[in-house]
């Protein structure tokens, strides 16, 4: 049994398979998942697990070089925006209109669905390179 890091076998495999600039999405319960993109559904009930809990767990185990969020997060979910700004203070954060955000999810290696039920609690995490 794995002792440290990501214990969810589906997420661990996706993380292990990422190459430089590949992306994954952490999504709220409402984000549409594009046809053909792997969906890892963690949602148990509304709010559980939370967006922040899932993003924090992934960030501990993934080399992230850029984060993309919907521009609407800033006004419609300032708590999530503050969390992203704090968690990724040393990383470029790009905001794009929500429709563009949804289009970007089409090329993600996976969408990880949380139980989060607040608007625009979604982010795209772009893989960097860890040279140790």
The predicted pLDDT at position 132 comes to 65
Let me know if residue 33 belongs to a domain: yes
In a domain, 1, yes or no: no
Task: Confirm whether residue 10 is marked as ligand binding.
Answer: no
Structural domain includes residue 2: no
Beta carbons of 62 and 11 less than 8 angstroms apart: no
CATH number for position 115: 3.40.1650.10
Catalytic pick among 4, 20, 86, 130: 20
Q: Does the annotation flag 121 for ligand binding?
A: yes
Structure tokens at 96: 């794009």
Q: Is residue 40 part of a domain?
A: yes
- Catalytic: 20? yes
Q: What is the pLDDT along the chain (132 residues), one digit of tens a residue?
A: 677 889 999 999 999 999 999 999 999 999 999 999 999 999 999 999 999 999 999 999 999 999 999 999 999 999 999 999 999 999 999 999 999 999 999 999 999 999 999 999 999 999 999 876
Residue 23 covered by a domain? yes
**Domain residues for 56?**
9-127
CB 122 within 8 A of CB 50: no
In the chain, the number of structural domains is: 1
Alpha carbons 81 and 72: distance in angstroms, whole number: 10
Closest Cα to residue 56, out of 23, 73, 80, 29?
80
122 a known binding residue?
yes
Any idea what the Cα angle at residue 96 is, between residues 112 and 27, rounded to 5°?
15
- Give pLDDT, residue 2: 75
Tell whether residue 43 is among the known ligand binding residues. no
């Amino acid at each position: 049994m794995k002792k440290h890091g990501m214990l969810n076998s589906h997420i661990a495999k996706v993380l292990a398979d990422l190459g430089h600039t590949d992306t994954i999405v952490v999504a709220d319960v409402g984000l549409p998942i594009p046809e053909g993109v792997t969906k890892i559904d963690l949602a148990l009930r509304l709010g559980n697990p939370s967006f922040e809990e899932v993003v924090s767990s992934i960030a501990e185990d993934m080399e992230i070089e850029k984060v993309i969020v919907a521009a609407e997060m800033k006004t419609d979910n300032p708590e999530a925006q503050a969390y992203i700004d704090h968690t990724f203070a040393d990383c470029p954060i790009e905001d794009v209109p929500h429709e563009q955000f949804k289009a970007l999810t089409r090329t993600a290696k996976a969408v990880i669905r949380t139980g989060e039920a607040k608007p625009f609690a979604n982010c795209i995490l772009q893989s960097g390179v860890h040279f140790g």
